[in-house]
Structure 1
Amino acid sequence: MIDPDVNMTRRSFLGTVGALTSAMLLAPHLLSAEESCILLRPIPSSGERLPVVGMGTSRTFDVQGDAETMGQLAQVLEAFFDSGGRLIDSSPMYGSAESVVGELLGSERGKSRLFTATKVWTDGRTDGIAQMERSIQRLGVDVIDLMQIHNLRDWKTHLPVLREWKQKGRIRYIGITTSHGRDHEALAQILRTETLDFVQFSYNIEDRTAEERLLPLAADQGIAVLINRPFQRGSLFHKTRGHQLPAWSAEIDCHSWAQFFLKFIIAHPIVTCVIPATSKVKHMTDNMAAGVGRLPDADMRRRMVAHVSAL
């Protein structure tokens, strides 16, 4: 079993703690009432702070657009923003998700607080540029906050274009993603040799391989970390079905299994934002609550791992 503690250097640890402390001190006069309740973490390359819980759109926002479904998703977005959410992650790979998000945000509701994160997922410079132009149009924004290279696809071609767009102000941050463990070695090499603002990969209470290299490397390189698949694509809920939360989870202000799994991830000091996906208001509200209240320390995280492993 991999120890859930990160093996970070003293320099990177102190840097992270210092940045987090500065963020907390600045929070009262920069945040709305809703946002002041949710933990924020800084983007290392800029100091801009993001809520630790964002929203993914894979599968959940790839819909046909009928009135009932759109109405339900509009309520999900409203719950997200009302809970202090900002970062919404999407991709051309997710079917109609970008277009659905853009349509639902067309009324400007929440747009001033929106942090758009999407991806380029194709081969070749020309197709990559065309795809990013479509993403801007579909999301209905003038500038993409974060453009990521999806699953390392043709990254050597796309990265120079992303840098050009960032210099021109068309995107604010650049990043790269994977959701496959088999790509960790290649991703680690990219993080060592390229200048990036963000990296996105999978990490959860059962899949902790990112603790070996990716999380410490992101800390050392000053790269913000987005976490996908926090619930192991739903398998964690299957595992805990029929089981009550341990009584000691109240010590970290935890009231559901979703919060249990998300708080485990958020408690890692190198994680900037976790992006669970849902199409239900009650689940969105539950997810966002994971960013509020006490978080587990190292001993509690080990206890959480042991508890889930024993189920």
Structure 2
Amino acid sequence: MTDVPEITLNDGHTIPQFGLGVWQAKPEECVDAVAHALKVGYRHIDTAAIYGNEEQVGQAIAESGVPREEVFLTTKLWNDRHRDAPAALEESLARLGVDHVDLYLIHWPVPSQDAYVDAWRSLIELRDAGKATSIGVSNFNEDHLLRVIEETGVVPAVNQIESHPTFQRFDLRQINQAHGIQTEVWSPLGRGEDLENDTVLEIAESVGKTPAQVILRWHIQRGVIVFPKSVTPARIEENFDIWDFELTEGQMKQMIKLNRKNRLGPDPRIFGA
């Protein structure tokens, strides 16, 4: 098995820099996808309560033969449970069939309901109770981050955000870094759109890799945590086959030039209102 780089979080725990995402993975295909990923060498699985597949993720891990302590497992608190986080996490743990998760995230801030600070206080308590080894947030902008830090004194371990070649988020990554928060990215391939970019295609041809492998390698070299979603065995294997090459400094600069603020997902300022 290839050794995936480990990143140390601000609470002293480590997280594999690469994993499998299961957003939109149907329950009937999720077990096989996670099982295959674990067989290939993945040791980081990212799910969420709203995905509707926590039970299948847990089943795949339990049946894989891979010791639980070797799998980094993330799930997330959905928007309608900000004031009910302890019960929500217990429900997730039951579906996953585990006694704790390695990372628990607030999925969206939903500023309109003004409950994300209360949710964060609950996550701190859940971490202290051993229900989650590390805690963090997802889709938080600078104002959301600063508020939870200022009102609780506890800095999130990670901030999971949309980021891909045409939406690189330099500003928010710098803010995360300034506070010791690791950046995780979702939609790392731009929902497939960025795979057709001429620059990506040219680099892929020059290094003898696929466009997806080039983009994933770019994410790795810029230091973010990434977990592409796939339920196709061949694609799961392809996405993992990025450890035998590196992009040059020139190629990394070419990738930077692709940024055009192309947001594909919801805007955290208004989502969930």
Tell me whether the two structures share a fold, i.e. TM-score over 0.5. yes
In structure 1, the gaps of 5 or more residues are 1-33
Could you tell me which of 227, 233, 236 is aligned with 1:284?
A: 236
Could you tell me which of 188, 205, 209 is aligned with 1:230?
A: 188
Higher relative contact order (CA 8 A, sep 6+): 1
Give runs of ≥4 in structure 1 deviating > 6 Å.
Answer: none
**Secondary structure class of the residue paired with 2:79:** coil
> Does 1:115 find its partner at 2:67?
no
Amino acid at match of 1:97: N
Match of 1:159 in 2: 120
> Does 1:133 find its partner at 2:97?
no
Could you tell me which of 18, 29, 44 is aligned with 1:87?
A: 44
**Secondary structure class of the residue paired with 1:107:** helix
Separation in 2, partners of 1:101, 1:246 = 32
Could you tell me which of 96, 104, 109 is aligned with 2:60?
A: 104
Match of 2:170 in 1: 211
After superposition, the C-alpha distances for 1:85-123 in whole angstroms (9 at most, x for unaligned) are 2221111111x2112212223325323421110111134
Amino acid at match of 1:169: G
> Does 1:220 find its partner at 2:178?
yes
Change (3 A) 1:174 1:293: same
After superposition, the C-alpha distances for 1:185-240 in whole angstroms (9 at most, x for unaligned) are 434534764511111111111111x212x212222222222111101122223556
In structure 2, the gaps of 5 or more residues are 261-273
Change (3 A) 1:176 1:125: closer
Instruction: Report how many residues are paired.
Output: 251
Match of 1:18 in 2: none
Aligned 8 A contact 1:90 1:97 in 2 = yes
Aligned 8 A contact 2:102 2:134 in 1 = yes
> Does 1:43 find its partner at 2:2?
no
Match of 2:245 in 1: 294
Separation in 1, partners of 2:181, 2:41 = 23
Q: CA deviation at 1:275?
A: 1.3
Separation in 1, partners of 2:93, 2:194 = 34
Amino acid at match of 1:89: D
Separation in 2, partners of 1:238, 1:297 = 20
Separation in 2, partners of 1:192, 1:295 = 36
> Does 1:184 find its partner at 2:145?
no
Could you tell me which of 253, 264, 274 is aligned with 2:226?
A: 274
Separation in 2, partners of 1:307, 1:198 = 25
Greater helix content: 1
Aligned 8 A contact 1:188 1:217 in 2 = no
Change (3 A) 1:43 1:295: farther
After superposition, the C-alpha distances for 1:120-172 in whole angstroms (9 at most, x for unaligned) are 11345653222211100011111111110011143111111111111111111
Match of 1:52 in 2: 17
The CA RMSD over aligned residues, in Å, is: 2.7
Separation in 1, partners of 2:204, 2:82 = 52
Separation in 1, partners of 2:130, 2:80 = 23
Amino acid at match of 1:296: L
Q: Among the aligned pairs, what percent are the same residue?
A: 20
Aligned 8 A contact 2:75 2:103 in 1 = yes
Separation in 1, partners of 2:138, 2:39 = 28
